[in-house]
Structure 1
């Protein structure tokens, strides 16, 4: 279906991030190190939550879904970038570009939805602790995960199919290290005004609206915490929410920098840096944030490593 393009585009050329200079070789090595940290950290988080019965709770089930999304996110873009750099080839097929575009956009959209739903989980845990097991039962958490995956996939499918049906003309060079939406749109020689408007509205729905909903949840959470009489309860409440707030700030901050700035203020280098932050750096930090800030996950790590008795 995608091959029926007016210009019969068979491949694109990804410019990538690095060249053959010594500095860029070092940066490439550093990027691959961060990639390995992201893969191992998220994979370990998923295994911990599956293996430890103490982590079989709604909050950690949603965290396992977040780690799975991060794992898939880095696996969608970085291996292709590394393969092209090491082989000296910069080509990606038309179908390959469409596939990569679909998966990165699908997972990114799903993560926006999931982080928003995770704020509701924290709201129920702090503001309605007695009803937590009822409001956040297994069926509800499963529906949250399904809604995130399906919502992200449907949005990505519509935007990807529409984009890949536009006629492409002129140079096939994508000024990026993967098939990112704005970079591919620049190669379209037809009128994309309606499409860009649709993408902008979608960005508002997936970025600004979730930020508003998360902020609203935390307004109620802060109000409930202030009314707590015990200082220990207040510390526990803030410790419970701090990991989620940090992850939300990093992810949505990078998304706003990458997609919500005016086109006149954007450069290809800035787009690459912004994409690098939310496509690899944020996924590598998320497991560390939850491990360091969450006592249950930290204890599970020590139990798996056999150090629980030593720490006690």
Structure 2
């Protein structure tokens, strides 16, 4: 069965993951509150893996959390690596993002199935784990946490408050696969956009004659995926793994496609065979005509099932 693979990028690239539709998984917590930010200040630090480069999705997720906390609460929260040498970090209040050398991270991730993430307040609340089975799962976990607990959806879509409180014993496990397509104009779509273009109105993204829209989609290298676009007009869709060389994926003139609105899809498996990231470029096939592309939603599904339109 084809399933949606969510991927989010932090601040500028928080690639691909729409988590409002996540419904599967377990949730546990007690009624005892655990203040994370109080009065616009916090004792916690964000910890990420020391071995990961700055381009790693989990590192981007940690930075995204820092900016989100500051935007909502005004609190300055530092990001540090998990390398402490011989220093005892046992009593330090830490939010552990992704895979770290802390035992709390190791234990939490070990219990996850593929395609799942966890948000867990450990013990007395000194350590909080936000992590996925994969690095992209960690991105998904961070977006879920920011939207549902911090109230942060994007740089321009959040509600300011000077506190953030969780609960002792809180443990949430969610699948980040499944759900509906990402609608045009949503914060989830904004997280996918590598190069912005067009105008958005009433859930539609309209491209002008010379507009070029590029989505950045991430998955597992070697995985099987399909792109699904709810689109109409005289569109040309190309694909790249390096943002430099683009290959034709499909156009409205191809067999099985057309100008009427429909959910048109194409197999991306061969491109994910060599990379964990692909770039989808959408432009007007015939700029001199009047029928420029209109995009309603985008979706990346796991599997290489066939079928063009509905």
The TM-score with structure 2 as length reference comes to: 0.24
The answer to which structure has the higher helix fraction is 1
- If asked which structure has higher relative contact order (CA below 8 Å, sep 6+), I would say 1
The answer to which structure has the higher strand fraction is 2
The TM-score with structure 1 as length reference comes to: 0.24
